[in-house]
Amino acid sequence: MNFNARYIIIVLFVIVSLHYILSFSHEPYGRATSLSNIKSKILPQKSSSPSTPSSDSLENFPAHTPVYNETLSIDRRANATFVILARNTDIQGTVKSIREMEDRFNRRYRYPYVILNEVPFSEEFKSRISVLTSAKIEFGVIPKEHWFQPDTIDEAKAKAGRDKMVEKNIIYGGSVSYRNMCRFNSGFFFRHPLMEKYRWYWRIEPDVHFHCDILYDPFVFMEEKKKVYSFTITMYEYEATIPTLWGHVMDFAKLHPEFIAKDNSLGFMSTDNGHTYNLCHFWSNFEIADMEFWRGPAYTAFFEYLDKQGGFYYERWGDAPVHSIAAALFVPRDQIQFFDDIGYEHNPYTHCPKGKGAWERGKCSCDPLKSFDYDGYSCMSKWDRFIETT
């Protein structure tokens, strides 16, 4: 065979080879070229029929929703969920919070979300949220009896209390809806039908920030270490919003000494064995906790006792002091967890890990020097002293 003939055969071979390769990689517009696309041409594929998500459960997502291979290595999860209380107008803040939680933690674990509202969520809200995660999302409406001011409240007395707070420029002093929210978070969120199947919850607010990668499962940590309640920020309560709360707490404690834990945290909140309250509480917009505690006999009796006093409406009792006081009195101190390594921000306060090692491991975006922990309004130094001396 002469040189020209061999040259023509080589050229033809190259052209045929290029055509064969391009036949694999030439896909319709918008589809990425990948090894999986090539495999799909060679290996037989299982057929599947798409399912449409229901209006209340978005467990089944469109094909473009990412599926993270990291989850294949997670062999244990707790019976847990995130819970978010939001309104339709909170859509942008809710998107930000979930996106950060997914990026920092949940893309590897895919814990479900329960999102609650006093009215049905709009289709726009649900569609905007549903594309953020491959985890299950359920949208729920709060029962009216769990949200609105009960008929047992003397509205004239409640209004007089609100007006007095407005005169003093107390934040949310005139808001009934804020009081509804505090009462709901104190005594009802864990009773919602969508929450009943779970034991553990992580409370997330719209427009909060998670500043560090969370490289382990806090739910499993809480379960294995037999923790009940956890926090990242602790501070003083606004005394004008709870003038009679501590008196009612002590009255309840006298009525039910059987509920007081032997190694409790009363010393964190009072230096005179409960005679006075120093106003310290755990900031409840971040909570990871065991709902068996809230559903148990001690807290159930405690909340019902407080609810009968009417202070959620006659004053402005918040769920933060109510939860905190209950955990301090009814839970052994070693079952309350401070998560130093979880960087968290709810404007205007930020917790940033103190230890350089935790800050570096978590690839934290917060500034440790601007952490709220030892601000003058923080109770963290009191918690440190309490733990060190007990």
Buried b (16+ CB within 10 A) or exposed e, 317-348: bbbbbbbbbbbbbbbebebbbbbbbbbbbbee
User: For the chain, what are the domain ranges?
Assistant: 80-389
Q: Name the active-site residue from 237, 287, 315, 345.
A: 287
pLDDT of residue 248: 98
Task: Give the rounded distance of the alpha carbon of 220 from its chain centre.
Answer: 15
**This prediction's pTM:** 0.81
pLDDT at res. 357:
86
Looking at residue 293, its pLDDT comes to 98
Coil, strand, or helix at residue 133? Answer: coil
Distance CA 119, CA 151 (A): 20
CA dist 213 and 218 (Å) reads: 12
Q: Which helix (H) or strand (E) holds 366?
A: none
Largest CA-CA distance found in the chain, in angstroms, rounded: 110
Q: Each residue's pLDDT tens digit in the chain (390 positions)?
A: 554 545 445 544 544 454 443 343 333 333 333 323 322 332 333 333 333 333 333 333 232 233 333 444 577 899 999 999 999 999 999 999 999 999 999 999 999 999 999 999 999 999 999 999 999 999 999 999 999 999 999 999 999 999 999 999 999 999 999 999 999 999 999 999 999 999 999 999 999 999 999 999 999 999 999 999 999 999 999 999 999 999 999 999 999 999 999 999 999 999 999 999 999 999 999 999 999 999 999 999 999 999 999 999 999 999 999 999 999 999 999 999 999 999 999 999 999 998 888 899 999 999 999 999 999 999 999 999 999 998
Q: Which amino acid is at 381?
A: S
- 378 DSSP assignment: B
Active site residue 145: no
* Structure tokens given for 120: 């049905």
Name the CATH topology of 80-389.
Answer: Spore Coat Polysaccharide Biosynthesis Protein SpsA; Chain A (3.90.550)
Q: How confident is the model at residue 390, as a pLDDT?
A: 81
Rounded to whole angstroms, the Cα distance separating 290 from 200 reads 5
